[in-house]
Amino acid sequence: MMLKISALALALFILVACGNAPSPISAPSGARFAPVSNSGGSVTVDAQLLDFQINQPLVFDVTMNTHSVELVDDLTRSAILRDDAGKEYAPIAWEGAGPGGHHREGKLKFAAFKTKPKFVELVVKNLAQVSERAFRWELK
């Protein structure tokens, strides 16, 4: 009987100790950045930087939604990536839904950076009569 009580007390102690363990502060490698949304001209665009690593392509999840216009824009022509020095980079690929419809999503890719800027800003120009939509992520 005493052995059962001791085993039960030990199990309870382990459960309480593990439940109070501090959670890690830093995000794991490859953690996603927060999504950013922009609405205007009857189109909502959601963008999310998936990861940032030196010498690895930058990939953004991009979703466009509307109920009133056809989404025919070619993001490889209307989007750029801007760094903290003001330098602009053209996309290297769009992997996703083709032009048309009211809902499009895909991945917009840019060439790898050789150094780490303070921030990157994805800019989509002239989509649904909005001259510029900016989505910014701090890279500290």
Rounded to two decimals, what is the model's pTM?
0.75
Per-residue pLDDT of the chain (140 residues; tens, 9 = 90+): 444 444 444 443 443 343 333 322 223 344 479 999 999 999 999 999 999 999 999 999 999 999 998 898 899 999 999 999 999 999 999 999 888 889 999 999 999 999 999 999 999 999 998 999 999 999 97
Q: Could you tell me which CATH number the domain at 33-138 has?
A: 2.60.40.1240
Domain boundaries, the chain: 33-138
What pairing do the DSSP bridges indicate for beta strands 119-127 and 130-138?
antiparallel
CB < 8 Å & 24+ apart, contacts of 82-87: 82/120, 82/121, 82/123, 83/113, 83/117, 83/119, 83/120, 83/121, 84/117, 84/118, 84/119, 84/120, 85/117
The pLDDT value recorded for residue 6 is 45
Which pLDDT belongs to residue 20?
36
* Residue 100 CB contacts under 8 Å (≥ 6 apart), including other chains: 70, 71, 72
